[in-house]
Amino acid sequence: MTSLERAARPAAWAEPTAAVRFVLDAWTVAEAELQKLVHDPTELLTRAVQPILWLLVFGQVLARARAIPTGQLGYIDFLAPGVLAQSALFSAIFFGIAVIWECCTSTW
């Protein structure tokens, strides 16, 4: 066997289950994000400030406008899950863009 050929995988190295694969993939993304934060700590500040601004600015303005009926639930309590989901999606989108950028720039 040459060094370029792949060796057969031992039986103990079977393909991980879907749950294990998910945890490994999530850890890979988290590790990449942590490395990015180590190099640029101001990004942590901006990631923390953005949801707070959404909750304070839009939450207070729209609560006073009574644009959406929330019943007995406070408007900030109504808005918070959406802001958290938005923050998670933004992080995922920016990570995806960073991966694409790395792939495209490393091949040139």
pLDDT, block means (10 residues), the chain with 108 residues:
55 80 87 83 82 82 74 81 88 81 70
Question: pTM for the complete prediction?
Answer: 0.56
pLDDT reported for residue 105: 73
Task: Find the Cα–Cα–Cα–Cα dihedral 71, 76, 80, 82, rounded to 10°.
Answer: 60
Do 54 and 83 form a contact (C-beta atoms < 8 A)? yes
Please tell me what DSSP assigns to residue 41.
Answer: T
Q: How far is CA 82 from CA 11, 25, 90, 107, in A?
A: 45, 25, 12, 38
Residue 2 lies in a domain: no
Domain annotation covers residue 9: no
70 within domain boundaries: yes
CA 15 to mean position of chain CA atoms = 26
Parent domain of 69: 41-108
- 27 assigned to some structural domain: no
Confidence (pLDDT) at 37: 81
The answer as to whether 14 is a domain residue is no
> Which of 43, 40, 54, 48 lies closest to 82, judged by CA?
54
How many domains does the chain contain in total? 1
In a domain, 33, yes or no: no
